[in-house]
């Protein structure tokens, strides 16, 4: 069999590799397991794929991020797949979005394939509940939504938070989340957005300074501001509805809706949201063209957004 998993969720991709290694691998000996990453010697791949397993039922060949590599002859790899014996299990893992025009991508999509994008909404909440149960704990939907709002689809971080919370108390409560979980960039961006909508320039710059001093990448901060302005626009258009209806129609996490709604109700008109977008795009263009350094462009953006 040939399997192809790709997408932005590095946590689930890693867990997929672990599951295949456990099911089809041969433990510490690695006599029937091959992993290719970075160095894609096509003839070595061919040899390992076509070789019969040694004193075992299967061989496992794992190939990571070959679609992102330069100089790979996709037709040669596809030819190897066509000649693969039934005893060889092949697992292709690709982090991020592959080039869907490539020969190899089109060939792999004919096999058992699945995109593992960043979980959100109900899927993310269910994952949190499942992981909490696996860790021996218990969490209700409301508290799972709070965690999802704090950490988004960062499953690595969420896994650590769940284990920490369950170790403190088997029943995860909102109070314990507030006590033990340090909100990530998402929550600080909500605070920044609040400061922007009420034109509190001093608070906005204080938050920006805190984020940078905590080690957050400035380009990532910019992308998160854009993300929150998008959420703000979605919520603003539905602000007269209840939180549950907004979450359903906008396909947003209820926690994100709740945090965005207060800011959305402070916005005077559609033109304000459009102005926010225009200023963010201008900042991005200044950075991409080299017209302004990243730190200068970000500070100028906050200054304009709070005018």
Both 166 and 205 in one domain: the answer is no
CATH, residue 231? 1.20.272.10
Count Cβ neighbours within 10 Å for each residue of 204-220 and write b for 16 or more, e otherwise.
Answer: bbebbeebeeeebebee
CATH, residue 11? 3.40.50.300
Q: How confident is the model at residue 283 (pLDDT cuts 50, 70, 90)?
A: confident
Average pLDDT over residues 97-111: 90
Sheet-wide strand order for 59-64: 33-37, 59-64, 88-95, 2-7, 112-115
Both 13 and 89 in one domain: the answer is yes
Both 126 and 111 in one domain: the answer is no
- Work out the widest C-alpha separation in the chain, in whole angstroms: 72
Both 65 and 162 in one domain: the answer is no
Both 126 and 220 in one domain: the answer is no
Both 143 and 106 in one domain: the answer is no
Q: How many domains does the chain have?
A: 3
The answer to whether residue 130 scores a pLDDT higher than 90 is: yes
- The answer to pTM > 0.85 is no
Q: How confident is the model at residue 81 (pLDDT cuts 50, 70, 90)?
A: very high
Both 174 and 214 in one domain: the answer is no
What pLDDT score was predicted for residue 182? 61
Which spans in the chain are helix H?
A: 10-24, 42-50, 74-83, 103-108, 121-134, 141-151, 155-168, 174-180, 185-197, 201-213, 218-236, 243-250, 254-264, 270-289, 294-305
Q: Where a domain ends, among 152, 180, 208? A: 180
The least confident of 100-104, 148-152, 169-173, 174-178 is 148-152
What pLDDT score was predicted for residue 135? 93
CATH, residue 127? 1.10.8.60
Both 136 and 225 in one domain: the answer is no
pLDDT tens digits, one per residue of 5-61: 999 888 999 999 999 988 887 765 678 888 998 888 899 999 999 988 888 888 999
Q: Where a domain ends, among 153, 180, 207? A: 180
Both 59 and 171 in one domain: the answer is no
Q: Where a domain ends, among 98, 115, 132? A: 115
pLDDT tens digits, one per residue of 213-254: 877 777 878 887 888 888 888 888 888 888 878 887 887 777
- Distance from C-alpha of 204 to C-alpha of 197, rounded to nearest angstrom: 10
DSSP 28: G
Both 224 and 284 in one domain: the answer is yes
Q: How confident is the model at residue 108 (pLDDT cuts 50, 70, 90)?
A: very high
Both 231 and 278 in one domain: the answer is yes
55 phi and psi, to 5 degrees? 55, 40
Instruction: Give residue 141's domain range.
Output: 121-180
Both 156 and 235 in one domain: the answer is no
């Amino acid at each position: 069999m040939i399997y192809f998993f790709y997408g932005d969720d590095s946590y689930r991709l890693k867990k997929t590799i672990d599951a295949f290694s456990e099911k089809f691998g041969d433990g510490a000996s690695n006599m029937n397991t091959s992993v290719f990453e970075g160095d894609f010697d096509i003839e070595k791949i061919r040899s390992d794929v076509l070789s019969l397993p040694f004193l075992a039922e299967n061989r496992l060949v794992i190939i990571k991020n070959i679609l992102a590599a330069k100089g790979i002859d996709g037709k040669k790899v596809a030819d190897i797949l066509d000649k693969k014996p039934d005893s060889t299990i092949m697992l292709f893992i690709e982090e991020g979005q592959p080039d869907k025009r490539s020969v190899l991508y089109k060939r792999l999509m004919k096999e058992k394939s699945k995109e593992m994008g960043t979980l959100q909404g109900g899927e993310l909440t269910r994952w949190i509940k499942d992981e909490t149960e696996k860790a021996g704990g218990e969490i209700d939907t409301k508290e799972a939504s709070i965690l999802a709002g704090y950490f988004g689809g960062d499953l690595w971080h969420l896994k650590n938070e769940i284990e920490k919370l369950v170790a403190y108390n088997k029943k995860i409560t909102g109070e314990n989340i507030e006590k033990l979980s340090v909100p990530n960039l998402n929550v600080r961006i909500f605070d920044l957005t609040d400061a922007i909508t009420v034109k509190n320039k001093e608070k906005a710059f204080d938050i920006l300074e805190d984020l940078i001093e905590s080690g957050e990448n400035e380009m990532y901060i910019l992308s998160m501001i854009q993300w929150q302005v998008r959420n703000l626009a979605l919520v603003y258009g539905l602000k007269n509805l209840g939180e549950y209806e907004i979450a359903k129609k906008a396909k947003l996490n209820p926690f994100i809706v709740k945090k965005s709604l207060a800011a959305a109700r402070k916005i005077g008109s559609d033109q304000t949201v459009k102005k926010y977008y225009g200023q963010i795009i201008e900042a991005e263009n200044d950075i991409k063209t080299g017209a302004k350094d990243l730190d200068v462009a970000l500070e100028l953006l906050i200054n304009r957004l709070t005018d």
